[in-house]
Amino acid sequence: MRVAIAEDSVLLREGVARLLAESGMDVVAQCGDAEQLLAELGSEPVDVVVVDIRLPPTHSDEGLRAALEIRARFPSTGVLVLSQYVELGLAMKLLADSAEGVGYLLKDRISDVKEFLAAVRRVAAGGSAIDPIIVSTLLSRRRTDDPLERLTRREREVLDLMAQGNSNQGIADKLVLTLRAVEKYVSSIFTKLQLPATGTESRRVLAVLLFLRN
């Protein structure tokens, strides 16, 4: 698996590169800014990029713009955006109309090595990785006539993990459930929330996020 990294903090960039390399990934590019990253991508196919949302020169929105550009220009390349703050608005902007091959995580998640590597792999494979904070913000959002109240506690846990981009197997592993049980919960959730059943995992991520957002 070929990975490119764009992160202006050398310390962190090298740490992430080492982490990814040690887990057997091929880190083909380490860049300090978005321009360099885009140049590297143009010359070399990459499965996934890990990009900091604040990059030089202005440290405002360069990383996000680069991520959006990569999504448009290299649809087969997964984009995992890292940030010191996760913002719901930015997540929605980044996802736009598809959660396929997109990740948006708090930078702190790096140190949970297993989870982080799983997220990188998921995004590289066209899946999604949405930070738990985003999902919990959406889940705890106050609503009048809240449809989430119709869910059981277990169903809410499943919904939470589902919205983060986990596969049914991933959810089953985390909650120590059988795959069949998870599938049952998922279908129950979709029925209770009156969501149409969707095919891929990334599609259901978007559907769930959009549902929770409104």
Which parts of this chain interact with another protein (CB under 8 A)? 9, 11-12, 15-16, 18-19, 22, 53-54, 59-61, 64, 84-85, 87-90, 92-93, 107-108, 110-113, 137-138, 141-144, 213
Calpha distance 168→124 (Å, rounded): 18
Instruction: Work out how close the CB of 199 gets to another protein at its nearest, in angstroms, rounded to a whole number.
Output: 28
Instruction: Work out how close the CB of 23 gets to another protein at its nearest, in angstroms, rounded to a whole number.
Output: 10
Instruction: Work out how close the CB of 162 gets to another protein at its nearest, in angstroms, rounded to a whole number.
Output: 19
User: For the chain, give me the number of helices (H) and strands (E)?
Assistant: 10, 6
Please classify residue 53 by burial: count the beta carbons closer than 10 Å to its beta carbon, then call 0-12 exposed, 13-18 middle and 19+ buried: buried
Instruction: Work out how close the CB of 183 gets to another protein at its nearest, in angstroms, rounded to a whole number.
Output: 30
Q: Which residue, 51 or 171, is less far from another protein as judged by CB?
A: 51
Our CA angle for 105, 111, 115, nearest 5°, is: 60
Calpha distance 209→206 (Å, rounded): 5
Q: Which residue, 156 or 184, is less far from another protein as judged by CB?
A: 156
